[in-house]
Amino acid sequence: MKQLAFAAATLLLVACNGGTSQGVPSEPAARPQSGSPSSPISHVVIVVQENRTFNDLFATFPGTVGTTTGKELIGSTVEPINLTEERLESPRTLRHTYGGYKTAYHDGAMDAFNLIRFQTDGKYEGSLPYQYVNPADVAPYWDIASDYAIADHMFTTQGSSSFPAHQDLIRGGTAIDSTESLIDDPNKTPWGCPAPPGTSTEVITTRLRYMRHGPPPCTSDFPSSGNYETLQELLDAKSVSWKYYTPSYQGSTGAIWNAFLVIASVFNDKTEWNAHISQPETNIFTDITGGTLPSVSWVIPDGINSDHPGYTSDTGPSWVASVVNAIGESSYWNSTAVVVVWDDWGGFYDEVKPPKLDKQGGPGFRVPMLIASPYVGKNEISHDTFEFGSIVRFIEDNWNLGRLGTTDETTKSISSMFDFNQSPRSFITIPSKRSKSFFLHQKPSGLPVDDE
């Protein structure tokens, strides 16, 4: 495991910001104060894509754990099944709720994906989950992994869908009190504080009982709302800048998936909202070129650019490449880590059993995680076990923010993928079909990033 040497990191930080060093100090450099980065990384950009298992996108990526053969349960017999190679533009959405996860997981056997039933008509999905994407369709993702870093044991925090996953990415868990956590999706849109009367969330108890009787999807209605902190509170308390880049809000999940719609202290405070919720998502390009990129960013795509099955679009890899390239070709490169992650499993097959189950419906199945940064090795492959709390923990540690007390306390930080003692690597451009200009001129689709 790569360890951070604070003295070396401090010297690198000076160099990266255009300063000079007068030699190695005779004593170790002091640990930075809270709110100051403790590494050369002063910008973390989390790019959130949709609904793909690790195996679906990287089944045959060299050096990682993947397969083109799965297992299905036929009666009481487990039989092998060959995965089919498909295009990224999957024509149909598969079920990826907690119920589907439990079925596929099958007490850890990972052999019953064929027994998941469609949410719409209740029919078995059969062989549909057993597929993987043609590598040519996701070439930018493979290039990021080849030129920078990939983790093949990143597990979602919960075995569920987008609503809790996006909460997990801003706080590491969805516990609303000591006995219940959010799971799956609210029963009406929008998914957040502006939801209409009668909207309720689904919850899971610490006894893993799955019930649809939760509070409205707004923290002001949670039974322990004061305990439902996110990175917002920690970042604001230390004056660390942050933004959540997202498609423009249109009154429902519509064109937006915004985790902070749930957070009353953000949604109901227009000063806070206007300062930190940046719409549309392409504003990140303006902030990069304008020199106003915040310390911590989440980047949510237009639904058509999200890799979500059912939208018959292949623009997701180009979207991600355009964000990575914009940062890599800017003055921010030497101080930035771009973390690309997929929010949930999307209903696709994966062979790797999650770690020991917890009491909030997780961990879920593997999803890909890529890191583009000058402080990762070329084709760095991590087999360390991570969850979304690992990303939260890295941010907390990097700015000495303290802990939220969720999975940020129980998971390993993604810091093990960095080497802050190495000289910052020069940026390698990620080729793609479409450029930043395409996305700047693209008409908003109005599609939800996810509706399950």
The DSSP string of 355-424 is SS--SSS----EEEEEEE-TTS-TTEEE---EEHHHHHHHHHHHTT----SSTTTTS--GGGG--TTSPP
Domain span at residue 10? 6-68+135-174+225-441
Q: Are 145 and 376 contacting, i.e. CB atoms less than 8 angstroms apart? A: no
- Is residue 182 one of the residues assigned to a domain? no
pLDDT for 211 equals 87
pLDDT for 35 equals 76
pLDDT for 92 equals 85
CA distances from 62 to 145, 250, 257 (A): 10, 42, 33
Name the pTM for this structure. 0.91
Report the C-alpha gap between 173 and 182 in whole angstroms.
9
- Is residue 245 one of the residues assigned to a domain? yes
Q: Are 397 and 415 contacting, i.e. CB atoms less than 8 angstroms apart? A: yes
- Is residue 185 one of the residues assigned to a domain? no
Give bridge partners of residue 45 from the DSSP assignment.
Answer: 297, 338
What is the three-class DSSP state of 227? helix
- Is residue 88 one of the residues assigned to a domain? no
CA distances from 404 to 75, 397, 439 (A): 45, 12, 35
- Angle at Cα 232 formed by Cα 409 and Cα 383, nearest 5°? 40
What residue ranges of the chain have pLDDT lower than 50?
1-32, 254-255
pLDDT for 128 equals 97
pLDDT for 252 equals 56
**Bridge pairing between strands 69-74 and 43-49:** unpaired
- Is residue 437 one of the residues assigned to a domain? yes
pLDDT for 16 equals 39
- Is residue 285 one of the residues assigned to a domain? yes
- Is residue 430 one of the residues assigned to a domain? yes
Report the C-alpha gap between 315 and 303 in whole angstroms.
10
Number of domains the chain contains: 1
- Is residue 169 one of the residues assigned to a domain? yes
pLDDT for 251 equals 58
pLDDT for 190 equals 87
CATH of the domain at 48: 3.40.720.10
pLDDT for 448 equals 67
First CA to last CA distance, the chain = 37
